[in-house]
Amino acid sequence: MEREVRVRFAPSPTGALHIGGVRTALYNFLLARKTGGKMILRIEDTDQTRFVPGAEDYIRESLEWCGIELDESPWKGGPYAPYRQSERKPIYMQYAQQLIDAGHAYYAFDTAEELDAMRERLKAAKVATPQYNAITRMTMKNSLTLPEDEVKRRLDSGDPYVIRLKVPRKEEVRLQDMIRGWVMVHSSAIDDKVLMKSDGMPTYHLANIVDDHLMKITHVIRGEEWLPSAPLHVLLYRYLGWEDTMPQFAHLPLLLKPDGNGKLSKRDGDKLGFPVFPLHWVDPNTGEKSTGYRESGYLPDAFVNFLAFLGWNPGTQQEIFSMDELIQEFTVERIGKSGTRFDIQKARWFNEQYLRAKPDSELAGYLMEALKEHNITTTHQTAEKVAGLMKERVSFPQDFWKEAQYFYVAPTEYSEKVASKKWNSQSVAVFEDFKNELLSLQDINADTVKELLNSILERHGMKIGQVMQALRLAVTGAEAGPDLMQIIEVLGKEETAQRIETAISKLSSYATA
């Protein structure tokens, strides 16, 4: 009988969640929902020295913002609670002891100074990667080299020790990765990793394997940086007798810098001016502030769509996917092996597409919010019209005010470049007539305004192209924008006439024949 698919996202609360971590969580979530399985979140906080206050809440809020729903977590509970490794401390020692009893692990009593001396000896002997392994372990203080009675005495007297995995000297360790195929590593390249630290806390390697087994995890989707540890994890599954239920592994490609040269870091984002965290973050230790995608104006759906394509593709030309569509189309097999370049312009493009797809009534909300901040009152109906006119010109919600403020604030300055080229006595004569006759219009809409302007231009023997840019300058103060006739419809005849009159007065020096 097939097992229920159970995946987990297992971040450490050591700071803000990198978008690479969000992508990992997303792919796990998509697989869980695609297969009708469960999505688990486990906080891996065994290294208490790196714990950062607020980091766990940040992880929770980030996933909620992205729409990544959890079936089991420290906040929701579940059948395999607790879901914080620090709260599971009593569980791990029995498995470390099981490994010792079976001859697959041992006690090591080496001091920090003795470990440093060992590494220096190996460096002096030109050993490329000094390790505590099958060869060097026999020169150190551990339960493999010390007499049994001394080991017992040290343990009984409370001497500090760690428990290390006893990695075989000559063995090929193999695992099948869902993305990379067969991965083979010789055991001589694996060191005797510490499984239990001297403070009684497990290391990532032991806690990770024990928890995945006890929580019945069937698939481990994680970053490529964990690939070197995978053979070690295979050995642990084998030595604990769990090889038959070992999860399937999928190691995701790296997120690369925009130039493709190395892994994307926060420093790259700071340098190039884009976020690498989903939400705003203030480091409680340094006070350093980092902006997030949410605060930068990215919509969660657009952000998720963008993230999904950083390593995965549907095999079609379609780019815009709702979460439900991503769930429907997602397969691990369509995740690439090679790293993916990070392209912030593509993220911006996704955001634009999602904004434009929203109804004008919803977009008006963004504008109304900004107007409130500037103490400007308007009707929702007018804000809807303005948002509809501007949505093809914005990338973020906050752009609505930036791009559309001339609807609410009359221009006081004008482009000298446009005025010097387009403002002249002939255009002013047209504008005078247009202003006066506009006020007499009963029904003002884009069509009637355009009809009026064309009739005046015909009387003056001019074409619309000769005055349009100057008229836009007078009405909006901008050089470009949406259809000017529609802008005038929104502004109304009195406001438009007043703006034209002000421009004629202020730009009189350019009105030469």
Contact 155, 107 (CB under 8 A): yes
In degrees and rounded to multiples of 5, residue 269 shows phi and psi of -60, -45
Burial category of 181 from C-beta neighbours within 10 Å (exposed 0-12, middle 13-18, buried 19 and up): exposed
Is 271 known to sit in a ligand binding site? no
Name every residue whose Cβ is closer than 8 Å to that of residue 210 and which is 6 or more positions away in sequence: 91, 92, 95, 202, 240
Name every residue whose Cβ is closer than 8 Å to that of residue 310 and which is 6 or more positions away in sequence: 23, 255, 340, 342
451-477: b or e for each residue (b if 16 or more CB lie within 10 Å)? ebbeebbeeeeeeeeebebbbbbbbbb
Tell me the C-alpha distance between 11 and 19, whole Å: 12
From the list 76, 266, 346, 506, the catalytic residue is: 266
**Residue 417 CA to its chain's centroid (Å):** 42
Q: Tell me the CA distances in angstroms from 205 to 192, 198, 214, 227, one per residue in order.
A: 11, 15, 14, 12
In degrees and rounded to multiples of 5, residue 227 shows phi and psi of -60, -40
Whether 266 is catalytic: yes
Q: Tell me the CA distances in angstroms from 143 to 100, 123, 146, 155, one per residue in order.
A: 10, 25, 5, 10
Closest CA to 507 of 419, 380, 422, 437: 419
Tell me the C-alpha distance between 9 and 40, whole Å: 6
Q: Which residue has the tokens 């007065």?
A: 505
Q: Tell me the CA distances in angstroms from 385 to 122, 378, 480, one per residue in order.
A: 74, 11, 18
Closest CA to 417 of 485, 480, 462: 480
Contact 367, 382 (CB under 8 A): no
Residues carrying an active site annotation: 266
Binding site for ATP, by residue number, is 266
Binding site, by residue number, is 266
